[in-house]
Amino acid sequence: MDRTLRAFRCWLTVYRRIWRSSIWSSILGPVCYLGAMGFGLGSLVNKHGTASLGGVSYLAFLAPAILASSAMTTGLDESTFPVFGSIKWNKIYIAAQASPLRPGDIFRGHLLFMLMRIFLNTFIFIVIMCAFDAERSAWVVLAQPAAVLTGLAFAAPIAAWAVTVKNETAFSIVFRFGMIPLMLFSGTFFPLSQLPAWLRPLAYATPLWHGVALCRGLSLGQLDWTGFAVHVGYLGGLAAVGIWAGTRMYRRRLYV
Amino acid sequence: MSEENEVLVRARGLIKRFGGFTAVAGIDFDLFRGEAFGFLGPNGAGKSSTMRMIGCVSPPSGGELTILGLDPVRDGSAIRARLGVVPQEDTLDMELTVRENLLVYGRYFGLPRALIRERTDQLLEFVQLADRGKDKVEPLSGGMKRRLTIARSLINDPEILILDEPTTGLDPQARHVVWDRLFRLKQRGVTLILTTHYMDEAEQLCDRLVVMDHGTVAAEGSPRELIAEYCSPEVLELRFEPAVHDASVEKVKDSTTDRVEVLADRILLYVTNGDAALAAVRQRGFQPLTSLVRRGTLEDVFLRLTGRRLED
């Protein structure tokens, strides 16, 4: 654990130089999304009735889903190019490797930093979301850890894979054919009941849907214990597999 | 075991394979405390692979390797805590300042902040970067970055300093500054392991060295021993008129018992006494266009051991 923290502090030192600009984009992103989609598009949606949304306004329906999907985006942003660059560009991993840190320490230290970024972004998001009056239940305080778990469920396995990537064009495929479809078809902008029946099981299998359902259930106060357990179990399992694989993949890549 | 005979790194039949390719094909060496030990060899000879194994970032594929009495696979982290590494390519963080680079690195070793600060002052002084502490790394010159990398590698006060081609790509002034700093470290008793393909660097810095070629050790000894064994005290270089070059070198070759090497533009005679050999050549009626008597060097040894040239 001590060595993981040593690796983590390197990232803090790097982050200290850029945190101001990164905080601004963390604030502007949610404001734009909730403003444009929640209010703008929402005013149209609400006119046509919100029964299929569970009887809540489009803003209340949308906000927790954007929370989950922005946790995913932060997780992916932090676990792709920064991981690749730590080998190829600024060589942070290569430098760290010559020290007493082991590949697993380097991985966990970086993952801890990704977790911190996801935590900060989702925290800011929840504050803005509540300022927009988009939550319907006090359970919303648990939506933040839920969103962090969603981000981790992406960041850990993707980092484990990214460390093995030889060419960074692989990441644009992840963003284009992974992240964007997930954002569109995980019950984020419209309920899954609107999807053709045969497509729904596919959506239920994606991690983002579990993150969206978990955050939405908490924010609206409509979650039962079974649903909670299934979503947390799925995301936690994915994160655990990622952490397990990351230690191995980092070792395989760095210790050759 | 007495202090100066203490073996810090011991390799027996050390092998490194990458898939079907054998980079290091069974080498033996001992590194003693306080010495400067060099690995020489052309590109691809297996020097860097050997360095990475000693640096405990690459598990040996076979043979024995002991570093500071420990096993690099099982105790890699504990060994690395006592090593300093100057990699072939700088791995400095360009976004950070000179001091921040040392701070981050010192933390990797779990050193307290106050100690890192104190050592940073001393090390920046030592590598002549004391006035650049607050500057970003990015705009520093190649030589400065190299010196900063050396300073960073010393943050944990290592017992062994591993340098992989420490002056490759530097201009002559920068190289001499690096050599000077490394020489001082050696005087302070830091054990140095370095790779290079610059013979002058090896002659300046190394007490003992091995010449590697195709993953094996081609020769081992002090620079002087290697010159004595594989070269000659002096080398006579003769150059003839292009028109008569071929005919002349043939005749010179036939008239001497010394080892002779014929190059495209000149002929080299490996002799004990260059002036006497030149006089003898003249006496036999040859009139070289130019002649040069010089000492036998490590470069001659290197080319003889790793070069692919016709020899007599």
Question: Which residue among B57, B92, B95 places its CB closest to the CB of A97?
Answer: B57
Asked if the structure places residue B124 within a domain, the reply is: yes
What pLDDT is recorded for position B312?
37
Is residue B136 located within the same domain as residue B267?
Answer: no
Q: Where are the alpha helices (DSSP H) in chain B?
A: 47-54, 76-80, 98-108, 113-126, 142-153, 172-187, 199-205, 223-230, 245-254, 274-283, 298-306
Which residues in chain B have Cβ-Cβ distances shorter than 8 Å to A255? 57-59
Domain boundary (B221, B246, B279) is at B221
Structure tokens at A9: 């502090």
Is residue B284 located within the same domain as residue B241?
Answer: yes
Question: Cβ(A30)–Cβ(A144) under 8 Å?
Answer: no
Is residue B158 located within the same domain as residue B11?
Answer: yes
Is residue B59 located within the same domain as residue B141?
Answer: yes
Question: Which CATH number does the domain housing residue B254 bear?
Answer: 3.30.70.270
Edge-to-edge strand ranges of the sheet holding B62-67: B21-32, B7-18, B62-67
Amino acid letter for position A226: T
Which residues in A have their CB inside 8 Å of a CB on B? 2-3, 6-7, 9-10, 13-14, 17, 90-92, 94-102, 254-256
What pLDDT is recorded for position B308?
55
Name the packing angle between helices B98-108 and A2-15 (round to 10°): 170
Report the C-alpha dihedral over residues A91, A93, A95, A97, rounded to 10 degrees.
Answer: -150
Is residue B64 located within the same domain as residue B168?
Answer: yes
- Per residue in B57-77, is it b (16+ CB within 10 Å) or e — as a string? bbebeebebbbbeeebeeebe
Distance from CA of B150 to the nearest CA of A (A): 13
Q: In this structure, how many other beta carbons lie within 10 angstroms of the beta carbon of residue B311?
A: 9
What pLDDT is recorded for position B1?
45
Asked if the structure places residue B305 within a domain, the reply is: no
Angle at A18 between CA A12 and CA A21, to 5 degrees: 135
Structure tokens at B290: 């130019």
Which residues in B have their CB inside 8 Å of a CB on A? 18, 55, 57-59, 76-78, 80-81, 83, 85, 87, 89, 91-96, 100, 103-105, 107-110, 153, 156
Please spell the DSSP secondary structure of A76-105, one letter per residue.
HHHHSHHHHHHHHTS-HHHHHHTSS--HHH
Asked if the structure places residue B190 within a domain, the reply is: yes
Best interface-test mutation with B: which of A99, A106, A108 has the largest number of B CBs within 10 A?
Answer: A99
Amino acid letter for position B36: A
Flag if A98 and B85 touch (Cβ within 8 Å).
Answer: yes
Is residue B116 located within the same domain as residue B240?
Answer: no
Best interface-test mutation with A: which of B75, B108, B135, B153 has the largest number of A CBs within 10 A?
Answer: B108
What pLDDT is recorded for position A66?
96
Q: What is the pTM of this model?
A: 0.92
Distances (CA, A) of B27 to B33, B110, B206, B227: 20, 34, 19, 21
Is the Cα dihedral A50, A55, A59, A63 positive or negative?
negative
The ranges of chain A with pLDDT < 50 are: none
Question: Residue B176 and residue B167: Cα distance in Å, rounded?
Answer: 9
* Closest CA relative to residue A157, chosen from A70, A251, A240: A240
Flag if B108 and A90 touch (Cβ within 8 Å).
Answer: no
Domain that holds residue B250: 232-296
Is residue B7 located within the same domain as residue B137?
Answer: yes
Is residue B77 located within the same domain as residue B103?
Answer: yes
Flag if B55 and A100 touch (Cβ within 8 Å).
Answer: no
* Closest CA relative to residue B152, chosen from A84, A88, A19, A94: A94
Is the Cα dihedral B21, B26, B30, B35 positive or negative?
negative
Best interface-test mutation with A: which of B107, B113, B164 has the largest number of A CBs within 10 A?
Answer: B107
Question: Which residue among A92, A100, A254 places its CB closest to the CB of B93?
Answer: A92
Asked if the structure places residue B114 within a domain, the reply is: yes
What pLDDT is recorded for position B4?
57
Number of domains in chain A: 1
Asked if the structure places residue B52 within a domain, the reply is: yes
Q: In this structure, how many other beta carbons lie within 10 angstroms of the beta carbon of residue A182?
A: 22
Asked if the structure places residue B310 within a domain, the reply is: no
Q: How would you write the pLDDT of chain B (312 residues) with one tens digit per residue?
A: 445 579 999 999 999 999 999 999 999 999 999 999 999 988 889 999 999 999 999 999 999 999 999 999 999 999 999 999 999 999 999 999 999 999 999 999 999 999 999 999 999 999 999 999 999 999 999 999 999 999 999 999 999 999 999 998 899 999 999 999 999 999 999 999 999 988 889 988 999 999 999 999 999 999 999 999 999 999 999 999 888 888 888 888 877 778 888 888 889 999 999 999 999 989 988 889 999 999 999 989 988 888 754 433
Flag if B80 and A14 touch (Cβ within 8 Å).
Answer: no
Which residues in chain B have Cβ-Cβ distances shorter than 8 Å to A108? none
Question: Cβ(A66)–Cβ(A37) under 8 Å?
Answer: yes
Number of domains in chain B: 2
Question: Residue B34 and residue A206: Cα distance in Å, rounded?
Answer: 60
Question: Residue B232 and residue B226: Cα distance in Å, rounded?
Answer: 10
Asked if the structure places residue B172 within a domain, the reply is: yes
Distance from CA of B208 to the nearest CA of A (A): 25
Q: Which residue of A has its CA nearest to B59?
A: A256
Question: Residue B252 and residue B287: Cα distance in Å, rounded?
Answer: 11
Flag if A255 and B103 touch (Cβ within 8 Å).
Answer: no
Is residue B130 located within the same domain as residue B161?
Answer: yes
Question: Which CATH number does the domain housing residue B174 bear?
Answer: 3.40.50.300
Domain that holds residue A24: 2-254
Enumerate the β-bridge partners of residue B9: B31, B67
Amino acid letter for position B164: D
Specify burial of residue B285 (Cβ count, 10 A radius: 0-12, 13-18, 19+).
exposed
